[in-house]
Amino acid sequence: MLTDEELMLSVAKGNVGAFEEIVRRHQASAWNTACRFLGDAEEARDVVQDAFLKLLDAAPRYQPKALFKTYLYCIITRLCLDRAQKKRPIYTDDLADDLPQMHDPRPSAIERLLTRERDRAVAAALDTLPPNQRMAVILKYYEGFGYQEISQAMQVTEKAVERLLARARGSLQAALLDLIKS
């Protein structure tokens, strides 16, 4: 099985099948990241489609200096942050049903209700964060990126990632405490 980096080098040589494999491997996680950041499933689909088109366009210039996943998420991060500058994302209750749930596949009705309410509260709190902080949180806690991968994807220093996450945690803690009290 070829690595993502090897597939991308093959795409640069015109191998369409290699590009299809890259899309198959990364489409779902890319959409999850964009959807969590943007708060809109359709807009997330547009961002992911744009990201893969940019990836295909950049294939001839691709150099595997970092992990491919970092390269892809750098593109997704840029597109999401650009969209956030153009308009403020709006979280809707309909989105919670589209996002994959991170819980036991057979929870009780009470557990499902509590989980749904918690997810809505977290999504609403995430929505209040500035775009860079929100993206850092999504990459760290939803995608499992390390500080170095986040810094490469967001094109900032690791120290900046630490500061973004620290500020975000403080803001989220305050926002979630307010939501719990009300």
- Assess if residue 144 is contained within a domain: yes
Q: What is the pLDDT of residue 89?
A: 46
Say what angle helices 4-12 and 16-38 make with each other, to 10 degrees. 120
- Phi then psi for residue 139, to 5 deg, are -65, -40
Q: Are 72 and 58 in contact (CB under 8 A)?
A: no
Is it the case that residue 93 has pLDDT exceeding 70?
Answer: no
Looking at residue 64, its pLDDT comes to 86
- Write the CATH number for 33: 1.20.140.160
Range of the domain at 39: 4-91+105-181
Structural domain count, the chain: 1
Q: Is 25 a domain residue?
A: yes
pLDDT of residue 151 exceeding 70, the answer is yes
Residue 149 belongs to a domain: yes
Question: pTM of this prediction?
Answer: 0.69
Q: Which pLDDT does position 102 carry in this prediction?
A: 46
- Residue percentage of the chain with pLDDT more than 70: 84
Which amino acid is located at 16 in the chain? V
